[in-house]
Structure 1
Amino acid sequence: MRTVGRLVTSLMLAVLVLSGCTDGGGVKNPVKAVAPKDPLTIETNVDNGASSVPVDTLVTVDGFDGQLSDVSLASQDGKTKVPGDIRGVRWTAQQFLEPGTSYVLTAAGTGDDGKKVTSTTRFTTKALSLDEQTYPAVAPLQGETVGVGMPVIVSFDLPVKDRAAFEKRMKVTAQPATVGGWYWLSDNTAHWRPKSYWKPGTKVSVDLALNSVPAGDGIYGQQDQRVDFTVGRSVVSIVDTKRHRMTVKIDGKARRTIPVSTGDASHRSRNGTKLVMEKHESIDMDAATTGVDSDDPNYYNLKGVKYALRVTNSGEFLHAAPWSAASQGNANVSHGCVGMSTANAGWLFSQSKRGDVVRYVGSPRRLEPANGWTDWNVSWSDWLEGSALQGEDPAA
């Protein structure tokens, strides 16, 4: 009985094994069905055929169910190309757009299904008048060699209300690296200066990525700017109004002490640190430009004044003054300018450049803020408070 039972059990197991390897139709090892892969879908944040697209639009392209491989954005005439980069599934433009311009956006990639897809989007940006664009003028000039006190000056012809948005895109880099910062004198003017005087030989680059950046009140930046300049040797002059002497130091060494005459008791030369703003080998000096009427006994109109270096907006110069030779080194008889012999003025003129430092001491009259490039009369802590970012990370 045990033998028969074992035989029956073995036959039953064999039947079960055979049943597990076949189905009713006799098909062996069925393959599970795989869902089909999706094609690439391309989406942009600008509609095809759109008009009056805001110029401060950063164009983006997204690729879903695949990978973007190539994106280009250019004006229809091909003259303007907008750079961008792909991160993950998104391409993002690195610049804003030009006003009143027709653009062609082309994107291509491969879907998860292995098939290539290309998309073309055409659109036009909103036109802007000159009254809706602010132009950034920069000093120093491209390639200029300047003095150790020279600030970077950006002047806007229309006011910038959103100073922070602009300052984030206004970069100054130097070699060797130099600590410095921006200070807004007004909505139309911003200065960047180092914490201390520039090191002679420093190479400086100014990059203003302001094209189409919103300035506020419906105004936009008119264009980007790039200016490179070099800091020359150190020329620092000290004008002692009490002793009627000016000491000129070049690279830290006193090179010449010059007898001078400065402003008289009614027209004191202003105390403080000034910078050479302009150089004129010859210039006419008319007191009317400083608000003195021609009927005033203090009126003057001097033709062809030689070797003039402007240091204030109000009209203070260092220049040749042969008419006051007897007073130079002895008395102050000018209307505020520093007068010296023609020979000394010619020598100083030959040594000077924009941004050279001229420090006045001994006068009871103080230099007014912004009467010239008065940056070095502001403490570093106060200077930092003039930034629109106030310690905020510019990259944020």
Structure 2
Amino acid sequence: MKRRISHPRPAVTAAAALVFLTAACTSPGGPEPEGTAVPGEGSTGPEVEITPAPGATAVPPNSPVRVTAADGTVTDVRIEQATPDEIASGGSEDPEEGGSAFEVTGTLNEGGDTWVSDWNLRPGAAVTVTATAADASGEETEVVSEFTTLEATPGQRLELAANFPNSGDVVGVGMPVIVTFDLPVTHREQVENSIEVTAEQETEGAWNWITDETAVFRPKEYWDPYQEVVVDLRLSGVEAADGVYGVEDHRIEFEVGRELVSTMHVPDHEMNVAIDGENVRTIPVSNGAARERFNTTTSGIHLTMEKYRTLVMDSATVGIPEGSPGYYRLDVDWAVRTSNSGEFTHAAPWNGRIGSANTSNGCTNMAVEDARWFHDQSLMGDVLETTGTDRQLEWDNGWGYYQRSWEEWLSHSATGRPQSTDGSGTPGSVHGEGL
């Protein structure tokens, strides 16, 4: 036999409870008053406790939900949440559209008597927790508890401002996941643990912060090609800074395409392009003249960032204004960006030294046919590994994130631990300290 105890939500949200709260069980003698249990024969079943406390209001949304069973095992926990607007409309939103419909899963301890939620709650929500536990004889107790969470204050509502890649993109094997928020993040560990990256081919990765607003996830090594990757940003309820809460969840789904890795030893005046491990083209090139630092091609692991059919290249955009030594302004075709310091591969029909000398302003010059081919082949996140110069690509210049060794990258993560992409969750807790 099962007994059921229902803890009502505060009166201000009682109407909302009618939308998704089932009525309490009744005994043969008539309706069972709320807050009482139906005893079983020879047993009353295990005692079940839920926190936050039933009837609580303004609960911090990054509080864990905890269910404990005395002399029993927790067998089921369901959490339902809805904002007043959703209650009025009768539905919730889609995380792919920036909604908050992710299920709140939880973890059961080894003894089976304590269940703790894995994720945060939604700000400003009416929450119903339905928990079931059983004792050794199979006697069950079901408890329904209701409470409300603190609303996110206008001006202190964390939003996702931008991300790369976007859903539907097909990218190269070096592609990082880049997310930018509209407010500074100081509780970085909680935010990192709220973003789960899942891939068809298991690997491990970690987050680093470029600024207080921008975080980057990269795998330990390049992604395996030909696979789907899903990024679940469970931002709803995360406390990004004191009193600043995320309000929406998001999902990004992208595809890693074929493996394209280009290699270039600058003194050799050529670039070798391999697709899926097979060299498919050797391209004569002319790189930076290296008379000054600004016109020295950088060595290191570059990622292709964007590409243009035509582009005006103006050195003023990289700190060399008109009238300064080294100033240039050129119209180029078939350009592919590889750094934020002005490096592109592009067509240079005016350069008669392609394949024999380095004479450019730091870019990789190619013949028109080769530049167009490389442009057309390139995906965002393809790899260009360059050697042979005395100027190293900075780790935060463009997408030079593989310039940090894996050990260094991991040490700069707020969690300090890798995240597996096998769907097992994130390295640590999303909940606030002391909650």
TM-score by length of structure 1 reads 0.75
User: Structure 2 CA distance, aligned partners of 1:41 and 1:258?
Assistant: 70
**Does residue 308 of the first structure (1) align with residue 335 of the second (2)?**
yes
Query: Which residue in 1 is equivalent to 2:310?
Result: 282
Most deviating of 82-91 and 340-349? 82-91
Show the counterpart of 1:248: 273
CA distance change for structure 1 residues 136 and 93 in 2, over 3 Å: closer, same or farther?
farther
Asked if 1 retains the 8 angstrom alpha-carbon contact of 2:415 and 2:428, the reply is: no
Aligned residue among 181, 186, 197 for 2:222:
197
CA deviation after TM superposition for structure 1 residue 276, in Å: 0.2
Partner of 1:340: 366
For 1:139, the equivalent position in structure 2 comes to 164
Q: How does 1:308-387 map to 2 (within 5 A)?
A: 308-324=335-351, 326-387=352-413
CA gap of 1:54–1:247, structure 2 versus 1, over 3 A, is: same
CA distance in 2, matches of 1:241, 1:180: 30
Q: Check the 8 A contact 2:119/2:194 in 1, yes or no.
A: no
Q: What is the deviation of 1:84? A: 6.2
Which amino acid is 1:166 matched to? V
Deviation at 1:198, TM superposition (A): 2.1
Q: Aligned letter for 2:385? A: R
Quick one: which amino acid aligns to residue 285 of structure 1? M
Q: Secondary structure at the match of 1:181?
A: strand
Residue 319 (structure 1) shift:
0.9
User: 2:188: which partner in 1?
Assistant: 163
- State the distance in 1 between where 2:207 and 2:107 align: 32
Q: Distance in 2 between matches of 1:54 and 1:230?
A: 36
What RMSD, in angstroms, separates the aligned Cα atoms of the two structures?
3.8
- Larger Rg over CA atoms: 1
CA contact 1:47–1:123 (8 Å) conserved in 2: no
Q: Retained in 1: the 8 A contact 2:298–2:393? A: yes
Which stretches in structure 1 are left out of the alignment for 5+ residues?
1-33
| Alpha carbons of structure 1 residues 71 and 292: separation in structure 2 relative to 1, 3 Å | closer
Which residue of structure 2 lines up, in the alignment, with residue 299 of structure 1? 327
**Structure 1 residue corresponding to 2:122, chosen from 98, 117, 124:** 98
Q: Describe the shift of the 1:121–1:387 C-alpha distance in structure 2 as closer, same or farther (beyond 3 A).
A: closer
Which stretch has the larger CA shift, 156-165 or 78-87?
78-87
Contact 2:76 2:132 in 1 (8 A): yes
Superposition deviation, residue 377 in structure 1: 1.9
Q: State the partner residue of 1:54.
A: 60
- Report matched runs for 1:133-282 at 5 Å: 133-135=158-160, 137-264=162-289, 265-266=291-292, 267-282=295-310
Aligned counterparts of 1:354 and 1:62: Cα–Cα separation in 2: 48
Aligned residue in 1 for 2:7: none
- Give the whole-Å Cα distance in 1 for the aligned partners of 2:306 and 2:407: 29
Instruction: State the Cα distance separating 1:339 from its structure 2 match.
Output: 1.2
Cα 1:121/1:257, change in 2 over 3 Å: closer
CA drift at 1:363? 1.4
Q: How many matched pairs?
A: 358
Contact persistence 2:158–2:181 (CA under 8 A): no
Secondary structure, aligned partner of 2:263: strand
Deviates more, 1:242-251 or 1:134-143: 134-143
1:234 Cα shift?
Answer: 1.6
Q: Evaluate the alpha carbon distance shift between residue 284 and residue 132 of structure 1 in structure 2; reply closer, same or farther with a 3 A threshold.
A: same
TM-score normalised per structure 2: 0.69
Matches of 1:118 and 1:390 in 2, distance apart?
Answer: 38
Return 86-95 or 354-363, whichever deviates more: 86-95
Greater relative CO, 1 or 2 (CA 8 Å, sep 6+): 2
Is 1:203–1:229's contact at 8 Å kept on the other side of the alignment?
A: yes
